[in-house]
Amino acid sequence: MIKLDLAHKKFIEALESEGKSSSTLIAYSKDIEQLMEHLSKSGVNIVTEVELVHLEGFMSKLSEEEYTPKSISRKTNATKTFFKFLHKEGHIKDNIADLLKHPKVDIKAPRILSKLEYRALRDAAKDDLRSYAMIEVLLQTGITISELAEIRMEDISLDEESGSLFVPKKNNKDARTVPLNKAVVEAIKEYINEDRPKLENAKHLFITKTGKPLLVRNIRSTINRYFKLAGVENAKVNDLRHTFVAHHLATGVSIIHISKIAGHKRISTTERYLQYIERDTEEEKTDLGIL
Protein backbone atom coordinates (compact mmCIF):
# COMPACT_ATOMS: atom_id res chain seq x y z
CA MET A 1 0.00 0.00 0.00
CA ILE A 2 1.17 3.50 -0.79
CA LYS A 3 0.01 6.77 0.73
CA LEU A 4 -1.48 9.44 -1.50
CA ASP A 5 1.20 12.03 -0.80
CA LEU A 6 4.00 9.64 -1.81
CA ALA A 7 2.03 8.51 -4.85
CA HIS A 8 1.58 12.15 -5.82
CA LYS A 9 5.34 12.75 -5.57
CA LYS A 10 6.15 9.70 -7.70
CA PHE A 11 3.52 10.73 -10.27
CA ILE A 12 5.05 14.18 -10.77
CA GLU A 13 8.53 12.66 -10.98
CA ALA A 14 7.27 10.30 -13.70
CA LEU A 15 5.79 13.20 -15.69
CA GLU A 16 9.05 15.10 -15.36
CA SER A 17 11.03 12.11 -16.65
CA GLU A 18 8.72 12.08 -19.69
CA GLY A 19 9.82 15.60 -20.53
CA LYS A 20 6.62 17.42 -19.59
CA SER A 21 6.91 21.22 -19.43
CA SER A 22 7.17 23.03 -16.09
CA SER A 23 3.72 24.57 -16.60
CA THR A 24 2.22 21.10 -17.17
CA LEU A 25 3.92 19.74 -14.04
CA ILE A 26 2.62 22.63 -11.94
CA ALA A 27 -0.93 22.23 -13.29
CA TYR A 28 -1.02 18.47 -12.63
CA SER A 29 0.55 18.90 -9.21
CA LYS A 30 -1.98 21.51 -8.09
CA ASP A 31 -4.94 19.53 -9.42
CA ILE A 32 -3.88 16.35 -7.60
CA GLU A 33 -3.11 18.30 -4.42
CA GLN A 34 -6.67 19.63 -4.52
CA LEU A 35 -8.01 16.11 -4.99
CA MET A 36 -5.88 14.83 -2.09
CA GLU A 37 -7.19 17.56 0.18
CA HIS A 38 -10.74 16.47 -0.62
CA LEU A 39 -9.90 12.80 -0.03
CA SER A 40 -8.15 13.61 3.25
CA LYS A 41 -11.28 15.35 4.54
CA SER A 42 -13.14 12.13 3.71
CA GLY A 43 -10.64 10.16 5.78
CA VAL A 44 -8.90 8.65 2.73
CA ASN A 45 -5.09 8.78 2.71
CA ILE A 46 -4.09 5.50 0.99
CA VAL A 47 -4.56 4.96 -2.76
CA THR A 48 -6.27 1.58 -2.34
CA GLU A 49 -8.97 3.22 -0.19
CA VAL A 50 -10.09 5.58 -2.97
CA GLU A 51 -13.43 4.67 -4.55
CA LEU A 52 -15.26 6.05 -7.55
CA VAL A 53 -17.78 7.77 -5.29
CA HIS A 54 -14.92 9.81 -3.77
CA LEU A 55 -13.80 11.03 -7.19
CA GLU A 56 -17.34 11.83 -8.28
CA GLY A 57 -17.86 13.66 -4.99
CA PHE A 58 -14.78 15.77 -5.68
CA MET A 59 -16.07 16.79 -9.10
CA SER A 60 -19.51 17.59 -7.67
CA LYS A 61 -17.90 19.77 -5.03
CA LEU A 62 -16.02 21.68 -7.73
CA SER A 63 -19.29 22.27 -9.55
CA GLU A 64 -20.91 23.56 -6.34
CA GLU A 65 -17.99 25.95 -5.92
CA GLU A 66 -18.78 27.27 -9.41
CA TYR A 67 -15.70 26.02 -11.21
CA THR A 68 -16.27 26.20 -14.96
CA PRO A 69 -16.94 22.95 -16.86
CA LYS A 70 -13.63 23.50 -18.65
CA SER A 71 -11.74 23.65 -15.33
CA ILE A 72 -13.55 20.59 -14.00
CA SER A 73 -12.77 18.73 -17.22
CA ARG A 74 -9.08 19.57 -16.80
CA LYS A 75 -9.11 18.30 -13.21
CA THR A 76 -10.94 15.18 -14.38
CA ASN A 77 -8.21 14.59 -16.93
CA ALA A 78 -5.52 15.08 -14.27
CA THR A 79 -7.30 12.59 -12.00
CA LYS A 80 -7.59 10.04 -14.79
CA THR A 81 -3.91 10.43 -15.67
CA PHE A 82 -2.93 10.06 -12.01
CA PHE A 83 -4.91 6.83 -11.55
CA LYS A 84 -3.67 5.47 -14.86
CA PHE A 85 -0.16 5.91 -13.46
CA LEU A 86 -1.12 4.20 -10.18
CA HIS A 87 -2.60 1.26 -12.07
CA LYS A 88 0.40 0.97 -14.39
CA GLU A 89 2.78 0.95 -11.41
CA GLY A 90 0.73 -1.74 -9.65
CA HIS A 91 -0.36 0.47 -6.74
CA ILE A 92 -4.05 -0.23 -7.44
CA LYS A 93 -5.68 -3.37 -8.83
CA ASP A 94 -8.50 -1.68 -10.77
CA ASN A 95 -8.44 1.77 -12.33
CA ILE A 96 -11.64 3.23 -10.91
CA ALA A 97 -11.01 6.57 -12.67
CA ASP A 98 -11.80 4.92 -16.01
CA LEU A 99 -15.46 5.27 -15.04
CA LEU A 100 -15.14 8.96 -14.16
CA LYS A 101 -17.00 11.10 -16.71
CA HIS A 102 -16.02 14.51 -18.04
CA PRO A 103 -18.57 17.32 -17.70
CA LYS A 104 -20.12 18.59 -20.90
CA VAL A 105 -18.03 21.49 -22.16
CA ASP A 106 -19.26 23.94 -24.75
CA ILE A 107 -16.30 24.66 -27.01
CA LYS A 108 -16.15 28.34 -27.90
CA ALA A 109 -15.28 29.44 -31.39
CA PRO A 110 -11.67 30.63 -31.65
CA ARG A 111 -11.17 34.40 -31.83
CA ILE A 112 -9.79 35.01 -35.31
CA LEU A 113 -8.55 38.50 -36.08
CA SER A 114 -9.88 40.13 -39.21
CA LYS A 115 -7.48 41.65 -41.72
CA LEU A 116 -8.33 45.12 -40.43
CA GLU A 117 -7.59 44.03 -36.86
CA TYR A 118 -4.18 42.47 -37.43
CA ARG A 119 -3.18 45.40 -39.68
CA ALA A 120 -4.19 47.80 -36.89
CA LEU A 121 -2.18 45.77 -34.37
CA ARG A 122 0.90 45.91 -36.58
CA ASP A 123 0.49 49.65 -37.09
CA ALA A 124 0.13 50.25 -33.35
CA ALA A 125 3.43 48.47 -32.61
CA LYS A 126 5.49 49.53 -35.64
CA ASP A 127 7.63 52.03 -33.72
CA ASP A 128 8.56 49.48 -31.03
CA LEU A 129 10.86 47.11 -32.93
CA ARG A 130 10.94 44.41 -30.26
CA SER A 131 7.17 44.31 -29.80
CA TYR A 132 6.58 44.49 -33.55
CA ALA A 133 8.94 41.54 -34.09
CA MET A 134 7.21 39.51 -31.38
CA ILE A 135 3.80 40.18 -32.90
CA GLU A 136 5.06 39.32 -36.37
CA VAL A 137 6.61 36.04 -35.18
CA LEU A 138 3.39 35.00 -33.43
CA LEU A 139 1.23 36.03 -36.36
CA GLN A 140 3.44 34.49 -39.05
CA THR A 141 4.45 31.23 -37.37
CA GLY A 142 1.58 30.20 -35.09
CA ILE A 143 3.90 29.34 -32.19
CA THR A 144 2.66 29.74 -28.62
CA ILE A 145 3.65 32.58 -26.31
CA SER A 146 5.73 30.21 -24.16
CA GLU A 147 7.56 29.00 -27.27
CA LEU A 148 8.19 32.62 -28.25
CA ALA A 149 9.73 33.36 -24.84
CA GLU A 150 12.08 30.39 -25.22
CA ILE A 151 13.49 31.28 -28.68
CA ARG A 152 17.28 31.42 -28.58
CA MET A 153 19.49 33.11 -31.13
CA GLU A 154 20.80 29.69 -32.16
CA ASP A 155 17.25 28.55 -32.97
CA ILE A 156 16.77 31.00 -35.85
CA SER A 157 18.24 30.96 -39.35
CA LEU A 158 17.79 34.09 -41.47
CA ASP A 159 18.49 34.39 -45.18
CA GLU A 160 17.69 37.30 -47.48
CA GLU A 161 13.96 36.71 -47.81
CA SER A 162 13.28 33.55 -45.85
CA GLY A 163 14.50 31.55 -42.91
CA SER A 164 13.51 28.99 -40.32
CA LEU A 165 12.82 28.69 -36.62
CA PHE A 166 13.61 25.56 -34.65
CA VAL A 167 11.14 24.99 -31.82
CA PRO A 168 12.79 22.56 -29.38
CA LYS A 169 10.96 20.36 -26.89
CA LYS A 170 12.19 18.43 -23.89
CA ASN A 171 11.12 15.24 -25.58
CA ASN A 172 12.63 15.72 -29.05
CA LYS A 173 9.65 13.86 -30.56
CA ASP A 174 7.59 17.08 -30.55
CA ALA A 175 10.36 19.40 -31.75
CA ARG A 176 9.62 21.08 -35.07
CA THR A 177 11.06 23.50 -37.61
CA VAL A 178 8.86 26.40 -38.71
CA PRO A 179 9.49 28.31 -41.96
CA LEU A 180 9.93 32.08 -41.78
CA ASN A 181 8.81 34.30 -44.64
CA LYS A 182 10.13 37.66 -45.79
CA ALA A 183 7.89 39.74 -43.50
CA VAL A 184 8.95 38.06 -40.27
CA VAL A 185 12.61 37.82 -41.36
CA GLU A 186 12.69 41.58 -41.94
CA ALA A 187 11.03 42.27 -38.56
CA ILE A 188 13.51 40.05 -36.68
CA LYS A 189 16.53 41.47 -38.51
CA GLU A 190 15.49 45.05 -37.83
CA TYR A 191 14.99 44.27 -34.14
CA ILE A 192 18.35 42.49 -33.85
CA ASN A 193 20.29 45.17 -35.74
CA GLU A 194 18.69 48.28 -34.29
CA ASP A 195 17.07 47.53 -30.95
CA ARG A 196 18.30 44.31 -29.34
CA PRO A 197 21.04 44.98 -26.73
CA LYS A 198 24.49 43.84 -27.95
CA LEU A 199 25.25 41.47 -25.09
CA GLU A 200 27.31 38.35 -25.81
CA ASN A 201 25.91 36.37 -22.88
CA ALA A 202 22.29 36.98 -23.89
CA LYS A 203 21.21 33.71 -25.50
CA HIS A 204 17.51 34.41 -26.04
CA LEU A 205 16.14 36.37 -28.98
CA PHE A 206 13.75 38.59 -27.05
CA ILE A 207 15.50 40.11 -24.06
CA THR A 208 15.40 43.02 -21.63
CA LYS A 209 17.94 45.85 -21.64
CA THR A 210 20.04 43.86 -19.18
CA GLY A 211 19.99 40.74 -21.35
CA LYS A 212 17.49 38.67 -19.39
CA PRO A 213 14.89 36.72 -21.41
CA LEU A 214 11.45 38.29 -21.47
CA LEU A 215 8.99 36.46 -19.25
CA VAL A 216 5.71 35.16 -20.65
CA ARG A 217 3.71 37.51 -18.44
CA ASN A 218 5.70 40.51 -19.71
CA ILE A 219 5.17 39.49 -23.33
CA ARG A 220 1.47 39.05 -22.70
CA SER A 221 1.05 42.44 -21.01
CA THR A 222 3.02 44.16 -23.79
CA ILE A 223 0.93 42.70 -26.60
CA ASN A 224 -2.30 43.27 -24.68
CA ARG A 225 -1.30 46.93 -24.47
CA TYR A 226 -0.97 47.09 -28.25
CA PHE A 227 -4.30 45.34 -28.70
CA LYS A 228 -5.80 48.18 -26.68
CA LEU A 229 -3.93 50.88 -28.60
CA ALA A 230 -5.06 49.31 -31.88
CA GLY A 231 -8.67 49.22 -30.74
CA VAL A 232 -8.82 45.44 -31.10
CA GLU A 233 -11.32 44.29 -28.48
CA ASN A 234 -11.75 40.94 -26.71
CA ALA A 235 -8.47 39.61 -28.08
CA LYS A 236 -5.69 37.69 -26.34
CA VAL A 237 -2.15 36.75 -27.40
CA ASN A 238 -3.20 33.19 -28.25
CA ASP A 239 -5.65 34.63 -30.78
CA LEU A 240 -2.66 35.41 -33.00
CA ARG A 241 -2.09 31.65 -33.15
CA HIS A 242 -5.76 31.10 -34.01
CA THR A 243 -5.44 33.72 -36.74
CA PHE A 244 -2.35 32.06 -38.19
CA VAL A 245 -4.08 28.68 -38.49
CA ALA A 246 -7.38 30.04 -39.78
CA HIS A 247 -5.90 32.31 -42.43
CA HIS A 248 -3.58 29.58 -43.72
CA LEU A 249 -6.48 27.19 -44.06
CA ALA A 250 -8.50 29.91 -45.77
CA THR A 251 -5.81 30.13 -48.45
CA GLY A 252 -6.08 26.40 -49.10
CA VAL A 253 -2.88 25.26 -47.36
CA SER A 254 -2.86 21.56 -46.43
CA ILE A 255 -4.39 20.76 -43.03
CA ILE A 256 -1.59 18.27 -42.35
CA HIS A 257 1.05 20.89 -43.16
CA ILE A 258 -0.52 23.52 -40.90
CA SER A 259 -1.02 20.99 -38.12
CA LYS A 260 2.70 20.15 -38.15
CA ILE A 261 3.81 23.79 -38.19
CA ALA A 262 1.43 24.77 -35.39
CA GLY A 263 2.51 21.76 -33.33
CA HIS A 264 -1.01 20.38 -32.91
CA LYS A 265 -0.86 16.90 -31.43
CA ARG A 266 -4.08 15.87 -33.16
CA ILE A 267 -5.17 16.66 -36.70
CA SER A 268 -8.71 17.12 -35.37
CA THR A 269 -7.50 20.24 -33.52
CA THR A 270 -6.60 21.81 -36.87
CA GLU A 271 -9.72 20.55 -38.62
CA ARG A 272 -11.90 22.33 -36.07
CA TYR A 273 -10.96 25.68 -37.63
CA LEU A 274 -12.55 24.76 -40.97
CA GLN A 275 -16.04 25.55 -39.68
CA TYR A 276 -14.99 29.11 -38.83
CA ILE A 277 -13.36 30.20 -42.08
CA GLU A 278 -14.27 31.18 -45.59
CA ARG A 279 -11.95 30.47 -48.47
CA ASP A 280 -9.92 33.50 -49.56
CA THR A 281 -9.85 34.82 -53.08
CA GLU A 282 -6.53 34.87 -54.97
CA GLU A 283 -6.11 38.60 -54.19
CA GLU A 284 -6.53 38.00 -50.46
CA LYS A 285 -4.11 35.09 -50.19
CA THR A 286 -0.95 37.18 -49.79
CA ASP A 287 -2.46 39.81 -47.49
CA LEU A 288 -1.13 38.32 -44.24
CA GLY A 289 2.26 37.80 -45.83
CA ILE A 290 2.27 34.09 -45.09
CA LEU A 291 2.59 32.76 -48.64
From first to last of its 291 residues, what are the pLDDT tens digits of the chain? 899 999 999 999 999 998 888 888 999 999 999 999 999 998 999 999 999 999 999 999 998 888 888 889 999 999 999 999 999 999 999 999 999 998 887 777 899 999 999 999 999 999 999 999 999 999 999 999 999 999 999 999 998 788 999 998 766 677 899 999 999 999 999 999 999 999 989 999 999 999 999 999 999 999 999 999 999 999 999 999 999 999 999 988 999 999 999 999 889 889 989 988 875 444 444 555 543
Query: How many Cβ atoms sit within 10 Å of the Cβ of residue 25?
Result: 14
Query: 85 and 166 in one domain?
Result: no
Query: 217 and 91 in one domain?
Result: no
Contact 182, 162 (CB under 8 A): yes
Please give the pLDDT value at position 287: 53
Please give the pLDDT value at position 172: 66
Query: How many Cβ atoms sit within 10 Å of the Cβ of residue 94?
Result: 10
Give the global pTM. 0.65
Q: Which neighbouring-strand residues pair with 178?
A: 165
How many domains are there within the chain?
2
Domain holding 156: CATH number?
A: 1.10.443.10
Is 244 part of any domain?
Answer: yes
Is 289 part of any domain?
Answer: no
Residue 74 lies in domain: 4-99
Please give the pLDDT value at position 283: 46
Q: Which neighbouring-strand residues pair with 164?
A: 157, 179
Query: 139 and 39 in one domain?
Result: no
